[in-house]
Structure 1
Amino acid sequence: MEIVTEFAYKVLEIEHCLIPLSDGTQLAARIWLPDTASVQAFPAILEYLPYRKRDGTALRDALTHPWMAGQGYVCVRVDMRGNGESQGLMADEYLLQEQDDALEVIDWLCQQPWCDGNLGMMGISWGGFNSLQVAARQPEALKAIITLCSTDDRYADDIHYKGGNLLLENFGWAATMLNFSAAAPDPLLVGDAWKSLWQQRLDAMPLLAETWLQHQTRDAYWRHGSVCEDYSAIKAAVYAVGGWGDAYKNAVPRLMQHLPGPKKAMIGPWIHKYPHFAVPNPAIGFLQEARRWWDHWLKGIDNRVMDDAACTFYLQDVLAPKGSYAERPGIWVQTSGWPDPQVQWTDYSLNDHGLSPGQQALGGPRSICSPLTTGLHQGEYCAIWFGPDGPTDQRRDDAQSLCFDSPPLAEPLALLGDVRLHLRLASDTPCGQLVARLNAVAPDGQVTQITYGVLNLALREDFSRLTPPVPGEPMDVQLNLDHVGVRVPAGHRLRLALSTASFPLLWPSRELTTLTVLPAVQRVQLPIFSGAAVPCPFEAPQAASPVALEVLRAAAPKRTLSEDVGSGEVCVTIEDDLGAVRFTEHGLAVDQRCTEQYRTLPWDPLSTQADIHWQYRVERAPWSVAVDSRLQVRADAQWFYIEAQQQALENGVQVHHRTWSKRVARVAL
């Protein structure tokens, strides 16, 4: 990545600025602006997050916002209420209050002499979500957004539920927010008020694991903030960006299909990171591409950005399976929109010979009851921390699944889009999970996952309404696997693997279930892409100068699997050690680490447990604070049981301790 230090405008920085809201709360902002902003107004670009501008996003902010400010924009990074140096309290994610605050921030920005009244919003993950949500509120000044790694449907495609199943990452994220939101403001910025602000947050800390678990179907709680409820509400131009290595790729084609206004999209090979510094490579000149977008929509420059292809996708080559890749070879392709005539969904059938083109019926029933430990090599739901979080060799999971293999491919096969599975099956219980993985089997036997999908059979017809399977009765099921862009080499076989569990991706159903695929035409539709490669349409990645840091302990993410041979219990341990650093400029030292442990027995669905422990420490001698948070979850057939603890220390002395003990009924799970 090229580091740029000379720009069209010299960049000034306001390190800490308070934005007043109508209820008296003040939100903290960091602002980068051109040096001529005292005599000339510029468009503003807002990024609005709960992740603490002082330390949480400081590294990526330094790479991104000064670069864009140097192109003639005012870049504003705001901490949401109850986070960082902002006042107030945050009760949950994506509340109406969050949107209302953003609208007031936009109004305030428009009133500043350095803002010309034209605004954009940009953000990844949470900031991508609220960019869409705020756009749906239609503030007049908001002309365009760039939403990265986000979703249009908070129930179907977020970190809580997938296919109507409970993600164990729901608890991982709840534990993360329990710790992140308890971080103290920096006294160097807020003075003596830091302690009262911190104490208020600690005293009012919500247990989000309980809140999210109380909504097990797609009810009004999840519909709020899901812009798919009314795509037409979004009038601003939308650039949707995703990565095949990220959990949030499915929203990009949906937004392109349903948004009525101006729109563009790209999906690269990346995990949950901005594309100018994401992995796997190739990273791209995302900032240059964003500048073209902003120049057109915020400055009115006729740079023909909207004359480019509407969608740009990276088709990555199938490689030997590995938990993470430094680089993914592949090709760039473009379409005029989504869906596109270059993609044709082609029928393959699951039949007595395996998997083959056409619609040949399965001659006899095939049954599967997978051990609950199936899925150990699925990988993380969302790869965030640069660790070995991707799917590894699928052979061991395939051995516990019902598999249908194709003959070796005579020619390479390009897939772009969602794989659509249509099955007629029966369950022996009124619950159950269907897990489908499309894999590529190499000539040497290694198995690489291409894509996957999961479905809670009790919510198969409608995620908002329970329809439990009637044991033994046939049911028709459609399951759309995650969107994918991939090239499968000639000589590989395709494998469709079906199982009834995926641990630790999903919390198991309350009962062991045997699924029977019935004699019938069982179809899988593959999105076969027939278009040609294009030269990479993006420049090489650039960024502004990185923040000056002293590394006190290098980040060391790790994922391990262990098995108690006597009991059969399997434990997955994920060590999210984010390392420890000291910011050279202001001396703040930050140390963050987390250990997640997920356990289950292979044949006991009520044995599953989650235990997540976060530690956060920040100091600038002689001052130091630390927060230690722990979340534990187990379940029986009727209830989930949540235990949580939080301890806060100031200079080594405990100043806060709180425990929670809750139970939530199992309604749809």
Structure 2
Amino acid sequence: MRYREHFERQVVREDVWIPTRDGRTRLHARIWRPADAADDPVPALLEYLPYRKTDWTAPRDAQRHPWYAGHGYASVRVDIRGHGDSEGTPGDEYDAQELADGVDVVNWLAEQPWCTGKVGMFGISWGGFNSLQIAALAPEPLKAIVTVCSTDDRYDNDVHYTGGAVLGIDMLAWAGTMLAFAARPPDPRSVGRDRWLPMWRERLDALEPFLHTWLAHQQRDDYWRHGSVCEDYGAIDAAVLAVGGWNDPYRDTVLRLVEHLPDDRVRGIVGPWSHQYPDRGLPPGPAIGFLQETLRWWNQHLKGEAASDSVSGAGGIMREPKLRAWINDPVPPATSYDVMPGRWVGESNWPSPSVTWDERPLGQTHAPVLVRTPQHTGIDAGRFFPFGNASDLPPDQREEDGRSVCFDSEPLNDRVEILGRPRVRLRLDSATPRAHVIARVCDVAPDGSSTLVTRGVLNLLSRRGRERAVEWTPGTYETVEFELGGTGYAFPPGHRIRVAVSDTYWPWVWPHGERGAGLTVVPADSAVLLPVRDPAYDDGKEPIRFEEPEQASPLPVAYERPAETRPERLVTHDVAKGEWTLEVDPNYGGSRTYPDGLRYEERACETYRIRADDPLSARAVSEWGIRLRRDGDWDAEIMTRTELRATAAEFIMDSRIEAWADGETVAKRAWHRVIPRTSA
């Protein structure tokens, strides 16, 4: 990693208030820009988030916003309405108010005397989402975006549902996280000593757990269509650089965007990364010079510079392949890799002529095979959002394979490279009207170790479309086909390709309430379809290269780890009760002290319990504690708890929050909701 302290243009920073169209609410912004921008205007870059620029994202912001400013841009970080130091009350994810405010910010930036009138947006996760969504609203000044680890489909490729099934692990965990995050107070140093407490009370009074809304929409309806740019890719007029990682759940969005957006307005990059910016150096690597690559993007689309083909040059990025993707070399199973072995490949078109479908039957017999897996199958699935931590990735899958029904190929004679989204086709019958089917593709080494390559889920109720629920008629065979997550992976000679099938996958998939005799699958009429890439397609082509990572000087933040820490992921088995428990510390950074004296303390735990024989025993709990204080100046604390459980007919949700300022209670709220299970 190279750190830059000095740039060609001197950088200044200022905090400002940006008005919104309602005339009552202002958003708080931090702007880094060249000191001479008033005389020599520059384009503006916007990152627009609920995650608090003055503390939670401040270390990450310091890496990139001053860097962009030093290279001739006004780089702007804005807190979303009701979050951080912005006025107003928090709303739902990506609601109409958030997007309208974002359009207002884009237009405001374009009108500033230090701006050329051209604006770009960028962000990871939430900021990548709303960059895409605001681009689909097409404000005139917005010419280009960089969207990282984001989705074009809020229903089927987000933290709520997958394959039409409830994502038990993140439906609950992210709702609990956002309840805690939305409850954090504004900073008195930004909003004033006399205003912070009334603003905080207003926020706390307006809170409503996201979980209630998400579970009220169990099928793909207008709620999920809002903000899903896959509904109309043609609405996006800005140029889009889409970036993802094979270990991030949003990687498929990159593949869809490069397929559906015009060649002259889209480029995609997919590396081996987790849910992180790819210059941060967090596992798995290798990291790339992401800021330099995005600078090429901004220079071309916001400044019209495209004279150079060089990696570090001012432009030329549209001469790069439409998709640059990492092919992982085979690795033994592990929960973290500092650097993944592999190589970069380039595809001028997507879908690519280098990729052909290899259909492999799961077996030769027409005799049905029973799939009835214990409820805790999936306990070794790994983290839904790998974040660069030591326990994120799936461990050896042998135990999971043993709980599933496995279909293995013969040992491979040659190396087989795949790139894209594999599919699984199953001829099956379900003994119950409601059921799930889960497929995993694993790389099985000669020693028996099993490395997870990719996986997919299908709620059989949604097999005829995510917009409706169609119950299965037991005793009837149907053929279902579903996609697995995108991947770039090379199976070596001598290894086997395994397809493991289960009807449970806890806690990723919340189980249906009915437990019957399982599924029966006909192997000879079932298959895995692999997108096999021909390596000869690379012959004679220039290798794909990126610069080494470079950032601005890091913010001097002091991180503290408690003397005694619990494991990031702890699995326990109560043998007598047959109960399995998974405890997760999401480890977003823990406690830290900032240069201005702010002490930010954060602790969280997610707990998932289920008995091997009882789907109705499933229970998930998210607990958070956050404290912000400056000695002798300010002390605010919140605690939240969110719990989800279910009967055969209903989801049951209980949430509560307590908040204190200087030891005095500011708010105490509790919610209890019951929602019918319509399709989940």
| Alignment TM-score, normalising by the size of structure 2 | 0.95
**1:223-242 residue pairs with structure 2 within 5 A?**
223-242=225-244
Shift of the 8–556 alpha-carbon distance from structure 1 to 2, 3 Å rule, reads farther
Name the amino acid aligned to 2:642.
Answer: L
**1:35-434 residue pairs with structure 2 within 5 A?**
35-168=35-168, 169-191=170-192, 192-260=194-262, 262-277=265-280, 278-302=282-306, 303-352=315-364, 362-384=365-387, 386-434=389-437
Deviations for 1:592-618, whole angstroms, at most 9, x for unmatched residues? 111000000111111100111011111
Residue range with higher mean Cα deviation, 544-553 or 514-523: 514-523
Q: CA deviation at 1:553?
A: 2.7
Q: How far apart are the structure 1 equivalents of 2:617 and 2:114?
A: 59
Structure 1: unaligned runs, 5 residues or longer: 353-361
Q: How far apart are the structure 1 equivalents of 2:252 and 2:64?
A: 25
The answer for the alignment partner of 1:516 in structure 2 is: 520
Name the amino acid aligned to 2:146.
Answer: I
| Alignment TM-score, normalising by the size of structure 1 | 0.97
Residue range with higher mean Cα deviation, 73-82 or 394-403: 394-403
8 Å Cα contact 1:119/1:298 also seen in 2: yes
Other structure's SS at 2:132 match: helix
The answer for the alignment partner of 2:500 in structure 1 is: 497
Other structure's SS at 2:17 match: strand
Other structure's SS at 1:59 match: helix
Name the amino acid aligned to 2:612.
Answer: P
Structure 2: unaligned runs, 5 residues or longer: 307-314
Residue range with higher mean Cα deviation, 506-515 or 179-188: 506-515
The answer for the alignment partner of 1:32 in structure 2 is: 32
Q: CA deviation at 1:479?
A: 1.1
Q: CA deviation at 1:557?
A: 6.4
Q: CA deviation at 1:387?
A: 4.2
Name the amino acid aligned to 1:220.
Answer: D
8 Å Cα contact 1:324/1:389 also seen in 2: yes
Deviations for 1:58-85, whole angstroms, at most 9, x for unmatched residues? 1110001111111000000000000000
Q: CA deviation at 1:652?
A: 2.1
Q: How far apart are the structure 1 equivalents of 2:585 and 2:352?
A: 42
Q: How far apart are the structure 2 equivalents of 1:541 and 1:330?
A: 18
Q: How far apart are the structure 1 equivalents of 2:447 and 2:320?
A: 42
8 Å Cα contact 1:333/1:531 also seen in 2: no
8 Å Cα contact 1:387/1:557 also seen in 2: no
Name the amino acid aligned to 1:113.
Answer: P
8 Å Cα contact 1:372/1:605 also seen in 2: yes
Name the amino acid aligned to 2:16.
Answer: C
Name the amino acid aligned to 2:176.
Answer: A
Q: How far apart are the structure 1 equivalents of 2:561 and 2:524?
A: 58
Q: CA deviation at 1:385?
A: 5.9
Other structure's SS at 1:199 match: helix
The question of 1:20 aligning with 2:19 is answered yes
The answer for the alignment partner of 1:625 in structure 2 is: 636
Other structure's SS at 2:135 match: helix
Q: CA deviation at 1:520?
A: 4.5
Other structure's SS at 2:175 match: helix
The question of 1:580 aligning with 2:591 is answered yes
Q: How many positions carry a matched residue from both structures?
A: 658
Q: CA deviation at 1:536?
A: 4.1
The question of 1:616 aligning with 2:626 is answered yes
C-alpha RMSD of matched pairs (Å): 1.3
Other structure's SS at 1:605 match: strand
8 Å Cα contact 1:633/1:642 also seen in 2: yes
8 Å Cα contact 1:369/1:512 also seen in 2: no
2:448 to 438, 445, 461: 445
Percent pairwise identity: 45
1:548 to 544, 556, 559: 556
The answer for the alignment partner of 1:654 in structure 2 is: 665
The answer for the alignment partner of 1:592 in structure 2 is: 602
Other structure's SS at 2:515 match: coil
Name the amino acid aligned to 2:297.
Answer: W
Name the amino acid aligned to 1:470.
Answer: T
The answer for the alignment partner of 1:472 in structure 2 is: 475
The answer for the alignment partner of 2:577 in structure 1 is: 567
Deviations for 1:24-54, whole angstroms, at most 9, x for unmatched residues? 1000001100111121110000011111101
8 Å Cα contact 1:165/1:455 also seen in 2: yes
8 Å Cα contact 1:385/1:557 also seen in 2: no
Q: CA deviation at 1:581?
A: 0.8
1:506 to 483, 491, 509: 509
